[in-house]
A and B are shown apart, each in its own frame.
Chain A
Amino acid sequence: MAQQGDLLLQMKGVQKRFGGAIALSGTDLSIRAGEIHALLGENGAGKSTMLKILAGVHVNDGGTISMAGRSFQTGSPQASIEQGIAVIYQEPSLFLDLTLAENVFIGRQPMKGAAIDWTLVQNEAARLFDELGVPLDPKRLARGLSIADQQVVEIAKALSMNANIILMDEPTAALSASEVERLMTVMQSLKAANKAVIFVSHRLDEVFMISDFITVMRDGATVSENSVEQTDMQKVIKEMVGRELTELFPKTEHDIGDVVLEVKDITNPAYFRNISFKVRKGEIVALAGLVGSGRSEVARAIFGIDKYDSGSVEVNGELLQKGSPIVSMERKIALVPEDRRQQGLFMIAGVDRNIAMESFDRLKGKIFLNFKKERTLTETWRDKLSIKFESASDPVDSLSGGNQQKTVLAKWLATNPDILIVDEPTRGIDVGTKAEVHKLIDAAAGEGKAVLMISSELPEVLGMADRIIVMREGHQVAELSRKDATQEKVIAAATTGSKGA
């Protein structure tokens, strides 16, 4: 059993490349028993890659990892488990057809003679849930369990494996306030049992509330490692961003016209309640808040991917039929979704096919598609957005993240929408392309489009938006104008629901 303060894990100069892209350029991390260690950084800073290396999903290309002083080569999930490393992913992947007890012990069920000792399995699981202070029935199936409860099952699994180091990838992202509170209690009890907890989070208030140490990463490298007393929120934010806000955002002033999109009191009780706002011609409105606060769901509801129970949406003063993306497109709405790989693109299809996807009306004669027009369309948008690819028929899967995102934008801009909704437009793309995307969004507003932007990146929100609407746990908690908005106000509203300092 590790004593408190024993060095459990040390990573030095760890590197990882994916093809030509550098994900980690030299990361250090030291973890001691009985500490809660937060891993911070903007999207794409390399946190997930690091977790995956520790989990044994990826193998590092350079640097050293040692466990309790002994050198350790990662490589398989099994090897990491044997080293006492357990990972709880953002979306836990339980076996939904098995009971909770069995999920805890899958592959390691205690035996009695030749048979699995089911009584012991259930009792042990019940004991672990008890220890974690969570009233879960070990006999129920995992199907239908909330994310928060699924995480608890994963933590119980980690404990049952005698894990010393528990990694959590954005565990609180999809949790409600009471669930977060419960998770923190669980983390404290892990700490008390001399386990080390490493967790990735974007909710700074939580980080400062619970962690002992904070490591900040940027562009694949460790920037700082401090105990929580040695640092503060301001410093951490600075280290995460690492650059001045002003030079990054090309926001220009445009004439703001009439209301184009009006959302009136829409509610879908599973995700959001009573959301109302207006977006005007030439205006960029940001929907800010934490991941899981219901922002993407609002966007999906407006575009018609999901339905809402009550309320209405109006476009140019006329009611928009709900639940139909086709109608929304006819009303000149475009949605660039948050997950470009799953929702925005057809990954195995060519760049040209993807860009043409929404423009068939203009590409076809009476019946057939005009391939020449299609080629012209691809070339036009390739030049306009400077998308880089070898051949137009290359699958978008072969493009870099930034070029993929530009392809999604091209697909929707080609429809010349009046209302452009962009959900996390710069997630996981490099800094240079980010600036280009920002320029594109600004230009769209300049052309008189009404832009609704959802973003988890505060600098982006503050730098781009004319107005900021903050959501928290499905409720609209604040609306800030560009000149009133500060990081502190947005964070405060997003995390505590207070209307600003």
Chain B
Amino acid sequence: MNSFISRLKPRGREGSLGIILLVTVGITGLINPRFLTGDGTRDLFTSTAVVALLAIGMAPIIIMRHIDLSVASTVGLTAWFIADISAKNPDFTWVQCFIIGPLIGMIVGVLNGLLVAGLRLPSLVVTLGTLYIVRGAVYVISNSVDYNAQEMPPSLLDLGQKVFFGVMPFTFLLVIFAMLITAWFMKYRKAGRDCYAIGSNPHAADLVGLKVFRRTFLAFVFSGAMAGLAGVFYLMRFAQVDSTAFYGQELAVVAAAVIGGVTIAGGSGTTIGATIGALLVQTIQGGLAAIGVDAFWKSAINGLLLIVAIYADRTLARKSERTLLAQRIKERA
């Protein structure tokens, strides 16, 4: 176990991101000591869980040079559907929710995957289309019916309240679990490595004979499944749902992953980074709230963070490129 963790130990970018996260947490704690208490930490985890889970699902897709904008709609769809089913079946428990949620999400994922991988259409447009279709489906099916806590399975809501070690909510524990599994998969399975190769050089991936269709397709199915699970998380956190649930949050997910070092140009990044990215965004938000910055600025700060992140990424890449070129010139001369 020890060696497993040490091998997964975040290196390079994830390492520095982790340090930035800790420093941010520290500073925020200095300003507002409540932030460092058990309650503060638990709140951070609770409020990050949904986005973090989605970012984990999104990471392999961005690594493959694609994007999935449909996730927020899928969250809305599954959240509403599960609430609807459990309202009509009072003996529904959390177990069924955890099975049905990802299954619904996977349907959207299969659709995305077929269009992107099968017809080789640009994922930006395809998932923009499914963003509409899925959200529209929620509107139509829901018929403006909302659900509240009393219509949801008590076992699910209880689970949402469950906290381990005083700070770790059940949902975030699952996030960590998903993060570690996917991180291991992306590092130690051929399918995971193929994702990096495909994103790094799609043309060469074809030449080498990698299974581009299958990998791309499955990545979208996986993202869909994670979005479905995130829909369940959404219910656990908010205990209410209407047809506009999680509306427009897809770009926040992309931002979390990119801030976490998943390069939008493909080929690099990890799910650990994506998770840290989601936490970092949430911490900075919390920190700024603590020093009295109006909550209205929240979105502006998100945007700025994203731009700073891609700028830093770009600058580092350029610097190393320049060093290598200089080295080559020297060798040649």
Contact = CB atoms under 8 A, between A and B. Distances in A.
Indicate whether A and B are direct neighbours in the complex (CB within 8 Å). yes
Interface of A: 57, 76-78, 81, 93-98, 102, 106-107, 109, 114-116, 118, 143-144, 146, 176, 269-270
Nearest to B321: A144
A406 to B, nearest CB: 29
Contact of A144 (B203, B320, B329): B320
Contact of B190 (A76, A95, A109, A269): A109
A146 B209 CA distance: 24
Nearest to A80: B209
A98 B320 CA distance: 15
Interface stretch (B192-200, B239-247, B275-283): B192-200
Contacts of B267: 95-98
Contacts of B321: 143-144
What are the 8 A-B residue pairs with the smallest beta carbon separation, nearest first? A144-B324, A97-B267, A93-B204, A115-B188, A97-B200, A78-B209, A95-B200, A95-B197
7 contacts: A97-B268, A98-B200, A98-B267, A106-B197, A107-B190, A116-B190, A176-B332
A77 B204 contact: no
A93 B209 CA distance: 13
B37 interface: no
A144 B190 CA distance: 25
Interface string B174-197: 000000000010011110011011
Interface string B242-272: 0000000000000000000000001110000
Nearest to B7: A118
Given A144-B321, A176-B332, A270-B325, A77 B208 contact: yes
Given A116-B189, A144-B321, A106 B208 contact: yes
Interface in B313-332: 320-321, 324-325, 328-329, 331-332
A451 to B, nearest CB: 31
A489 to B, nearest CB: 26
Contacts of B325: 144, 270
A102 B194 CA distance: 10
Given A78-B209, A176-B332, A269-B329, A109 B199 contact: no
A97 B199 contact: yes
A188 B328 CA distance: 26
Contact of A106 (B187, B193, B206, B328): B193
A81 B210 CA distance: 12
B208 A98 contact: no
B304 interface: no
Given A77-B208, A107-B197, A114-B189, 15 more contacts: A76-B209, A81-B209, A97-B266, A97-B268, A98-B196, A98-B200, A106-B194, A107-B194, A114-B188, A115-B189, A116-B188, A143-B320, A143-B321, A143-B324, A270-B329
A94 B201 contact: yes
A199 B206 CA distance: 23
A272 B293 CA distance: 56
B207 interface: yes
A107 B325 CA distance: 29
Contact of A107 (B188, B200, B208, B332): B208
A269 B325 CA distance: 11
A430 to B, nearest CB: 28
Contacts of B188: 114-116, 118
B194 to A, nearest CB: 7
Nearest to B333: A269
A115 B185 CA distance: 8
A234 to B, nearest CB: 33
